[in-house]
């Protein structure tokens, strides 16, 4: 499993899950080409993760998934007294 375009970054963008049926893949916001986009009510972060069944070649059974997380801004009420 790896982030598209970062298959050689073994430190943080690749997860070797040989023989595992389940796994966890943690990605940092500042690594692996994570794309951030500012939206009206928060921030969206996304990347394409590829599940590959061969260490060297991409094959027709491999799958790519576009993952995204949306972090909503907390509502803020601001008030200030003004003397005129």
Listing DSSP states for 28-69 in one string gives -TTSTT-EEEEETTEEEEEEEEEE-SSSS---TT-EEEEEEE
Mean of the per-residue pLDDT values of the chain = 85
Could you tell me what percent of the chain has a pLDDT over 90?
21
- Read off the pLDDT of residues 53-80 as tens digits, 9 standing for 90 and up: 877 788 889 999 999 999 998 877 888 8
Instruction: With 0.85 as the threshold, say if the pTM is over it.
Output: no
Helix (H, G, I), strand (E, B) or coil at 70: strand
| Residue 9 burial by Cβ neighbours in a 10 Å radius (0-12, 13-18, 19+) | middle
pLDDT-derived band at 22 (thresholds 50, 70, 90) equals confident
């Amino acid at each position: 499993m790896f982030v598209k375009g970062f298959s050689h970054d073994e430190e943080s963008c690749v997860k070797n899950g040989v023989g595992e049926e389940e796994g966890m893949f943690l990605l940092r916001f500042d690594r692996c080409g994570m794309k951030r986009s500012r939206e009206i009510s928060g921030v969206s972060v996304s990347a394409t993760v590829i599940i590959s069944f061969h260490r060297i070649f991409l094959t027709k059974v491999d799958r790519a998934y576009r993952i995204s997380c949306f972090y909503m801004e907390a509502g803020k009420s601001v008030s200030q007294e003004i003397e005129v």
